[in-house]
Every structure is written in C-alpha cells, then in structure tokens.
Amino acid sequence: MEFRQLGKTGIRVSEIGFGAWAIGGEMWGKQDEADSIAALHKALDLGCNFFDTALAYGDGHSERLIHRVLKERGVLNEVVIATKVPPKNGVWDPPTSTPIGEAFPPGWIAKCCERSLRNLGRDWIDLLQLHTWNPAWAERVGWYEAMLRLKEQGKIRAIGISVSAVRHDEADPHVKKKRVDAIQVIHNILDQSAEKTLFSLAEKKGVGILSRVPLASGALTGKFTRDTQFPKGDWRSERPGRHWVAEMIEQVEKIKFVTEGGLSLTHAALKYCLAHPAVSSVIPGIRNAKQAEENLSASDGKPMPAEHVARLRELYRQKEIGALFYT
C-alpha cells in the first residue's frame, strides 16, 4: 500500500481508502454483516489505514462496525477515520433557497460529532465533513466556527466538505480562505469535471482531495451487462428506464484500451484517479473481502501510463465519454 498526505494536515492516508457506505446496510441492497466484518479485516491486512464513513450510513451502523473491528484488531487509534455530519433537515441536495441554519446549525454539528465519537469509540475524529453543501452558503461561517471549536477541544483534527455531484466548485470560497482541509468530490474516468478548476485550486491552497465514486457506482468494474438487474433496496434499481445501463456499457467499451497489458478495468479506474497529484486518497465502496482485495491491491506503486491518462482526458474533452448518473 502506498500513502499520501491529506493536503497540509500532516495526516498520512493510504492512497486507496475504505468507502464504508454499503456496510451501513442501506441503499445498496441487503448487506451481510459477516461480509462487512471480513471486508474491514481484509482492508487492514492489506495496509489500508483510511476509512471514510458517515453518521447517516445505517444511522451509525457503519461507524459502529468500524469501531468493532478496529478494537478487535487493537488498532482503534492507529488508523485515520473520516466521518460526516448529515443535514438536520434531511435534504441532501438543498436548493439555494435553503438557509444553512436549517441544515447545519452549530449545535447540530456538535451533537452529531458527539454521536459519531460514541459510535467510533474514540476521543477524536481525524476528519469531520459536512455531508452536503450549497453554493448559496459561501459566506456563511457559523458552521466553520462550530468546527473550529471542536478542533480546539481536540475532538476533530481536520475539517472537510463533501460537495454535490454536479457542482464541484460550490465550496471554492472556503478553499480559497483555507477554512477546509479536505474536499470530497465525485471523480472518475467518466466524470472528470472536478479536475477543471477545483483540483488546481486545492493544490494551490494545500487542500486534500478525496475522490469518491471512482468506479462510477459499479460501471467501471466492467461487470454491467444489458441484462444486469439490481436487487431490491439498491438505489440503482429505482432509476427509471433501462437505457442508462446500456449507455454506460457503451462508454466503458470506448475505454477498454486501459486494460492492455493485463490491467483490470477496476485497477485502471482507480489508477486514473490517483494519476492526479491533487488527490490524497480514492475511496471506492467496499462491502466484502473480495472487493477489498480487488480495490486495495490497485495501490501497487505502478501508475497508469501517461499516454492512457492523456487519451482518457481527451475522450472526455471531446465528449466521447461523460457521466450519465450520479450518487
């Protein structure tokens, strides 16, 4: 496992982390707890030291599972844990008319931090993130002052924001003013839009980038077929129509050249994200030991060939490939 710095925080993270949404047991279909525990153990075995979870993942279940395994392994305070504060009003893509006080009042941030600390069984959280954002909140700083108090109290080490799927630059004002230590954003071969302005700004200001949805919610594993059926409870099963699956397959066909030389599509997708120097860690979702092995083994010190990176960026620039859905 290779490691990188999380911006200028001094926190060292595995360049591929453990995305812990699915093990919360919601939105991705039925999840076996034994699989979740095995996945966490395998991740630790492979050198992963960065776990990204959220209070909203199974109402804390993901956090509690992480605590259980880390305590069992005796490494509870030796890994890096990022978690997130859910919006108090439950609105995940807030319209610009929504006051920030409805989503992230200072008292709510402190309360959620305490809940996550109890779930995780720790005295501090390495990175506390707001789980959604809105560009209309650019000049609002009550949330930031609440985070600073938590930092002064030793309850968190770093401050972050998870930005929306379609507005990658919505937190740029806070990046510019160095209020945040990390930004979590959708970033993958089929959605390179964050690279346009956010990544260069983050590099300039020393803000770490966490690439989420690096496998395009499964499309970049190459496992989708036109007959793919998603189980009940999996959010992908609720998308209207079937055309989007076929369109994703067609796009994946255009990038199959990245598997030349025997590289798996999954590894190629993860290595693409790591090719950008702004990225501190890539956080694919992991729900069993097999996925842990497959995803984490992509960190092998062998970067994607520069010519492949350039070709993928050109395909995106020419709109030959491009994101069709988000999560």
Catalytic residues: 57
User: How many CB atoms are located within 10 Å of the residue 38 CB?
Assistant: 17
User: How many CB atoms are located within 10 Å of the residue 97 CB?
Assistant: 7
Residue type, 292: A
| Gap between the Cα atoms of 312 and 257, Å rounded | 10
Under a CB-based contact definition with an 8 Å cutoff, are residues 17 and 51 in contact?
A: yes
| Gap between the Cα atoms of 11 and 296, Å rounded | 19
| Gap between the Cα atoms of 12 and 100, Å rounded | 32
Nearest to residue 21, comparing CAs of 117, 162, 139?
A: 162
φ, ψ dihedrals at 154, nearest 5°: 80, 15
Under a CB-based contact definition with an 8 Å cutoff, are residues 206 and 7 in contact?
A: yes
Tokens standing for 160? 């972050």
Under a CB-based contact definition with an 8 Å cutoff, are residues 186 and 157 in contact?
A: no
What b/e string do you get for 165-174 counting C-beta neighbours within 10 Å, with b at 16 or more?
beebbbbbeb
Beta bridge pairs of residue 285? 19
If you ran DSSP here, which 8-state letter would residue 234 be given? B
